[in-house]
Structure 1
Amino acid sequence: MEGASVADFSWDIRSPLDRALVAGPYGAQGDAGLALTEIRDFDLVQVMARRGKARETVKAATARFGIAAPETPKAVAAADATLIWSGPDQFLVLSKGGRHALEMLAPVFAGSASLSDQSHARALISVSGDKARATLAKLSSIDLHADAFAVGAAAATSMDHTSITLWRGDDRNGQAVFNLLVFATFAESLWHTILDSAAEYGVTIGHSEDLA
């Protein structure tokens, strides 16, 4: 229609925590017991072996990354990617820089696995500090004690009725680091729930582009 205006749409990708994340201290004053960090700008690809192709999928992953894909609940680190178990005969490839993006992995797993790009469908949250376990214990039934959930352990579980993929990263400054992948539509709700659970310990809130 002549004279009609056309709305401008922006396709800029925004963090699902863009509104919720307010960098700085939160909760109890003094030394913070928890660091709550959103990790941004990553590539995440779901790899699901096709029926009868689990062995071929593992072999393809080994050839690509130099390590075997996890077949039990754990996360394994390659030189420039982390492979995270997400269920029977399936795993996630977490990386940065586009080298292991969907279009790069498609020919690697052609014929053996189905791939889906989850890069903008999930939020990645890092929880660390001396009160990390105490905070997450309020929200999850998983035993996160070091003897039960060692570095590299992973679980497809729920936290405060929200489905997540959880794994323990390398310790930082002698403290445990837990990584949570949550669907973007539930990220803001879970973020606030974690903050409420950690408020008594004091929280340092931030975001980073460095994978934990």
Structure 2
Amino acid sequence: MEGASVAEFSWDVRSPLDRALAVEGYGAHGDAGVTLTEIRNFDLIQVMARRGKAAEMAKAAKGRFSVAVPETPKAIGTRDATLIWSGPDQFFVLSQGGKHGIGALGQAFAQSASLSDQSHARVLISISGAKARAMLAKLSSIDLHPGVFAVGAAAATSMDHTSVTLWRGDDGSNGEAVFNVLVFATFAESLWHTMLDSAAEYGVVIGHSEDLA
């Protein structure tokens, strides 16, 4: 129709935490005890064995990643991905750059597993600092003592009534523990504010990163 105009739409992908995340300090002054970092631009694929195909899925994963898949709550690092237990006969593949995206993994697991791309359905938050455990203890019943929750330990649990996947990554360069939380995008902003409130007494450094912890 002459004179008609077409509306322009933007399909830019935005973080669910865009409104909530302010890159600055929060809470108590002085040396911050907690660092909260949103990790962006990652690939997250859930791999779920088909009925009776768990052994075949495990074999396919071993061929793809050169490590055994986690059969208990664990996070196993490879050269370019992390395999995170997410339930019986299922796990997440966390990576960057598309090498282990859903298209790349489709052929490897075509006969043994169903894949679900969760890259934009979840938010990944890295938590570190001297008071990271103290803050997390307010939100979760998981025992995070280093003798119990060692590097690579994982759990499907809840924080402030929100379902999350929690695991301990490699320690930071300063030797402090690093914890990672995957949360559904629709609950991410609420949980973020809860984390800030729980960490306020220790002081918080807030930021975002393109690098996986």
TM-score computed with the length of structure 1 as normaliser:
0.98
Q: Tell me what 1:168 maps to.
A: 168
User: Is residue 203 of structure 2 the alignment partner of residue 202 of structure 1?
Assistant: yes
Which blocks of at least 5 consecutive residues in structure 1 are unaligned? none
CA drift of 1:2 comes to: 5.2
Q: Tell me what 2:186 maps to.
A: 185
Instruction: Provide the secondary structure at the position in 2 that maps to 1:179.
Output: strand
User: Is residue 102 of structure 2 the alignment partner of residue 102 of structure 1?
Assistant: yes
Equivalent residue letter for 1:102 = I
Q: Tell me what 1:60 maps to.
A: 60
Q: Tell me what 1:119 maps to.
A: 119
CA drift of 1:75 comes to: 0.2
CA distance in 1, matches of 2:16, 2:2: 37
CA distance in 1, matches of 2:132, 2:79: 27
CA distance in 2, matches of 1:192, 1:186: 10
CA distance in 1, matches of 2:3, 2:117: 40
CA distance in 2, matches of 1:34, 1:2: 59
- 1:132-170 deviation digits (Å, cap 9, x = unpaired): 000010000111111111100000111001110000001
Task: Indicate the percent of aligned positions where both proteins have the same amino acid.
Answer: 78
CA drift of 1:9 comes to: 1.2
CA drift of 1:5 comes to: 3.7
Pairwise mapping of residues 3-82 of structure 1 onto structure 2 (< 5 A)? Answer: 3-82=3-82
Which blocks of at least 5 consecutive residues in structure 2 are unaligned? none
- 1:2-29 deviation digits (Å, cap 9, x = unpaired): 5444322111111111111000111100
Number of residue pairs matched by the alignment: 212
Equivalent residue letter for 2:191 = L
- 1:155-212 deviation digits (Å, cap 9, x = unpaired): 0111001110000001111111100000111100000000000000000000001111
Equivalent residue letter for 2:24 = G
Equivalent residue letter for 1:118 = Q
CA distance in 2, matches of 1:202, 1:18: 21
CA drift of 1:111 comes to: 1.2
Equivalent residue letter for 2:136 = L
Structure 1 moving runs of 4+ over 6 Å: none
Instruction: Provide the secondary structure at the position in 1 that maps to 2:165.
Output: strand
Instruction: Provide the secondary structure at the position in 1 that maps to 2:44.
Output: strand
Equivalent residue letter for 2:31 = D
CA distance in 2, matches of 1:115, 1:55: 16
CA distance in 1, matches of 2:121, 2:197: 24
Instruction: Provide the secondary structure at the position in 2 that maps to 1:171.
Output: coil
Equivalent residue letter for 1:9 = F
